[in-house]
Amino acid sequence: MEQNIIGWVEIPVTDMDRAKGFYEAVFAFEIQVHPMGELIMGWFPFEQGKEGASGSLVKHGDFYRPSDTHGSVVYFSSTDVQNELDRVEAAGGSIIQPKTLISEEIGYMALFRDSEGNRIALHSRK
């Protein structure tokens, strides 16, 4: 296979402005919003040549609904998960699982609920 198996991730939202503000506050990056008819996408930053897939916040009343207990979990990469975790509650989210060691070889993870009610994870080596 010439590429990693995950190519794109979409996180459902019900309020794009609120979700955009939450993710920008937690991750300290800018999201570009692109209306596409009934579908509204908020694209995460992406640079060619860097590891990992990119993705988007997505709002569409018929096809995307946030969920905190069912479905896939998106992991965001971090230098230290505690950095983003420390900003979650002030941005309108809640912590589900604090920074936890997976193993020395794999690193750490944490889980939080975003402003829309989605269960989101973080991963870092330290």
pLDDT at 1: 58
Environment class of 25 (CB within 10 Å of its CB; exposed 0-12, middle 13-18, buried 19+): middle
d(CA 25, CA 53): 21
Q: Tell me: domain 8-124, CATH 3.20.20.80, correct? A: no
Query: What's residue 83's pLDDT?
Result: 97
pLDDT in tens, 59-105: 998 999 998 887 789 999 999 999 999 999 999 999 999 999 999 99
β-strand partners of 124: 108
Question: In the beta sheet, which residues pair with residue 102?
Answer: none
Q: What is the pLDDT of residues 12-69, one digit of tens each?
A: 999 999 999 999 999 999 999 999 999 999 999 998 888 888 999 999 989 999 988 8
- Kindly give, in sequence order, each residue whose CB lies less than 8 Å from that of residue 57, ignoring residues fewer than 6 positions away: 10, 11, 13, 16, 19, 20, 23, 31, 41, 42, 44
At 43 the pLDDT is 97
Nearest Cα to Cα of residue 42 among 87, 8, 11: 11
Task: Report CA dihedral (10, 11, 13, 18) to the nearest 10 degrees.
Answer: -110
Number of residues written out for the chain: 126
pTM for the full model? Answer: 0.90
